[in-house]
Amino acid sequence: MYIVSMTSDNQPTSANKTNAHRWWVWTAAALFPMYQFMLQGSPSVMLPNLVQDLSITLVEASFITTFFFYSYIAMQIPSGILVDLFGPRILLTLGSFLAGLSCLIFSCCKLLWVAEVSRLIMGFVCATGIVSVFYLISQWFDTKRFALLVGLTETLCMAGAAIATILLSAAVHWWGWRQAIFLSGIEGIIISILIIFIVRNKPGDSSWILKSNTNFSVKTELKQLGVVVGRFQVWVSALYMGMAFSIVPAFYALWGIPFFMNNYNFSSTQAASLNAAGLIGVGVGSPFIGWLSDTVGRRKIIMIFSSLVATICIWVILKIKLTVLLIVILNFVLGFSCSGYVLGFAIIKEILPIDVRGRAMGFANMLCLAIGAPILQPIIALLVKYSPPRDDLFTFALTPVPITLALSFILTFFIKETYCKSFESTGDPS
């Protein structure tokens, strides 16, 4: 089952060719979640265009973004099972191709419900992306590199999403939102072609579908899921991840650009550039915090400090009128600090036995996204729509974001320190 995704079974006796090829496998596979991150927040750079072209309200336009997350989050636990049964190669190929096809449909839509359905499909087919990359990391790399490569994957995703956001905003300005989304669809199809030729499920395995993982049982799956959801430390760690990560879907992926446009009178391209500083911060912070935690042998203290800094930064950004330079610096520090959420994956991996870690990763990733997108995004939208007219409308509407980050800081005090030791070495069920 998906347990192999959390434990490397390839031996150091592999040839140099395999050692070199594994980086190509990881890079090609990571292009898909990078593409997924770009798709998640793509409507944020074209909200006024969607409002005008589809004759909808700003709140309705914001829900186009949210529809992506409904299906994406719902598929997180099943995605681990799908990777077990079929392997990452075919799922990454089909996912990127169908995501690109969904973009082409979105670019042609004339009605709101068509846009929402196309976004729903995007979320559904993108759901296996990050889990598939985690699987490939475990199969192609030494297990000691898992935390570092998870961080590097986040770096590639965030940096790519930041760059793509700026380029997409420029493309919307130059050619219009339909042409920009159409080109995004072509990008997804190109990524699927690269995956076909580069990605393999395991070293020496050129098959499309895994042949050994056929012992699927609903009863076994429910039993293993019960082990995961029955652990308090899994819940508190996953909720911490969701609250710390909420800044990405709630602010950077949707409401950050409107906030900067409204409060500072920036153009959409300028606002997208400022917003991208935070995504770059997450991208840089993820591997650094993972490396630092592994080096010092501590998780909890780093999570406490990063959550505190993030909470302070978002309050300053929202409440104080800043220069462009300070916005960039604080936005970068905010994103950097919020990347402490990656340590939640490491803690959950360390407190559970091997045979349930795959389900745990899916469950954790589900909660990691469940707060920022389907909860905070609509709340902020409703505050924007129903709040009385005021000059600081977006500042007021975004108040749930710093509150959520403050809650992540409080949650860290309930997390048990693992000292970077696995369940197998401690036998502690946490």
- Bigger pLDDT: 141 vs 32: 32
CATH of the domain at 203: 1.20.1250.20
Range of the domain at 412: 2-426
Rounded CA-CA distance 175/242 in Å is 36
Q: What is the pLDDT of residues 48-60, one digit of tens each?
A: 889 889 998 888 8
Which alpha helices (DSSP H) does 75-126 contain, by range? 76-86, 88-108, 112-126
Instruction: Decide if 45 contacts 272 (C-beta within 8 A).
Output: yes
Weakest mean pLDDT among 8-12, 237-241, 327-331: 8-12
Rounded CA-CA distance 237/133 in Å is 21
Q: Which two tokens stand for residue 192?
A: 């699927």
Distance of CA 308 to the CA centre of its chain: 21
- Give yes or no for residue 211 having a pLDDT over 70: no
- Bigger pLDDT: 22 vs 408: 408
Q: Which two tokens stand for residue 38?
A: 């770009």
Backbone angles phi, psi at 210, to 5 degrees: -60, 135
**Tally of domains within the chain:** 1
Instruction: Decide if 368 contacts 238 (C-beta within 8 A).
Output: yes
* C-alpha distances out from residue 58 to 44, 182, 357, Å: 11, 22, 41
Q: At which residue do the structure tokens 């959390």 appear? A: 6
Rounded CA-CA distance 412/301 in Å is 8
Long-range contacts of 263-269 (CB under 8 A, 24+ apart): 263/321, 263/392, 263/394, 263/395, 264/327, 267/173, 268/45, 268/48, 268/169, 268/172, 268/173, 269/166, 269/169, 269/170, 269/173
- Give yes or no for residue 197 having a pLDDT over 60: yes
- Bigger pLDDT: 264 vs 359: 264
Residue type at position 393: L
Which alpha helices (DSSP H) does 320-375 contain, by range? 324-338, 342-351, 357-370
Average pLDDT score, the chain: 85
Average pLDDT for residues 131-155, to the nearest whole number?
Answer: 79
**Percent helix / strand / coil, the chain, rounded to 5:** 80, 0, 20
Q: How confident is the model at residue 292 (pLDDT cuts 50, 70, 90)?
A: very high
Residue 53: HSE in the Cβ half-sphere, 13 Å Cα cutoff: 18
Q: What is the pLDDT of residue 352?
A: 86
Radius of gyration of the chain (CA): 21
CA nearest neighbour of 243 among 401, 64, 71: 401
- Give yes or no for residue 174 having a pLDDT over 70: yes
Residues near 282 by beta carbon (within 8 Å), at least 6 away in sequence? 154, 158, 248, 252, 335, 336, 338, 339
Residue type at position 195: I
Q: How many residues does the chain have?
A: 430
Q: What is the pLDDT of residues 293-351, one digit of tens each?
A: 988 999 999 999 999 999 999 999 999 999 999 999 999 999 999 999 989 988 988 88
Q: What is the pLDDT of residue 291?
A: 85
Give the global pTM: 0.80
Q: What is the pLDDT of residue 424?
A: 56
Of the ranges 69-73, 120-124, 153-157, 353-357, the best mean pLDDT one: 120-124
Q: What is the pLDDT of residue 8?
A: 46
Q: What is the pLDDT of residue 423?
A: 64
Residue 102: HSE in the Cβ half-sphere, 13 Å Cα cutoff: 23
